Amino acid sequence: MLKVWHIARDGDAYGGSRNANKILLALDEIGEQRQVEQVRRAAVRDAQGPFRKLNPNGQVPVIEDHGLVLWESGAILRYLGDTRRGTALLPEDPKAAAVVQQWLTWEAATYAPSLHALFFAMMADPRSEAAVDAARAAYLGQLRIVDAALTGREYLAGTFSVADIALGAMIPLSFVIGLDLKPYPNLLGWLRRLATRKAWRNNDIFAADMAAGAGQLN
């Protein structure tokens, strides 16, 4: 049985790991059982702790599947798509699969750094409002790209895939940090569609983040 290391929502100051939550969402989408190893954030970050033997970066998610230990959420999502063929995780068509990979790469290389930059600007002490404004504008620019990509389509690559999981698990954090997403109607419609899927309805981290934006989603 596949094993997943995850920081759960309960007892975590940041409401759990959204990156590890991507893997749980993917497995729930295809109905695959897994063994979840819950770790605390302090244990993950401990430079001398045993977790570093699994991931030298001190981050979740990590999976173990048939002897393979793998970290980095995008790599894990692609691995699940490649090894769980016949599921909705990755299209069979190479061109469509390349579009999915495009979004996985963009999420890690462009979207996530912009989100982190905004979060750290907001948490800085002392806080610079000019730095927050600049980071917010840059982050909202990334959301405009997602909103535009969803024009006339239900999911990022046309049909549901791990591309939607990679970004759908993260973007609702926008509500938690108090952003107004009403200028992005395609994005909001996409989040509503994700929320109707069984795997997402039953996911506590996604549900809590979406609840923070209830006034915008209704």
Residue range 10-66, pLDDT digits in tens: 999 999 999 999 999 999 999 999 999 999 999 999 999 999 999 999 999 999 999
CA distance 166 to 23: 9
Task: Give the other-Cβ count within 10 Å of 89's Cβ.
Answer: 25
Residues of the chain with CATH 1.20.1050.10: 94-217
Residues in the chain with pLDDT < 50? none
* Predicted model pTM: 0.97
CA distance 75 to 77: 6
Collect all residues with Cβ–Cβ distance below 8 Å to 135 and sequence separation of at least 6. Answer: 114, 117, 118, 121, 122
Domain 3-83, CATH among 3.40.30.10, 3.20.20.70, 3.40.920.10, 1.10.8.50: 3.40.30.10
pLDDT (0 to 100) of residue 136: 98
Query: Tell me, which fold does domain 94-217 have in CATH?
Result: Glutathione S-transferase Yfyf (Class Pi); Chain A, domain 2 (1.20.1050)
Q: Determine contact, residues 26/77, Cβ cutoff 8 Å.
A: yes
CA distance 119 to 111: 13
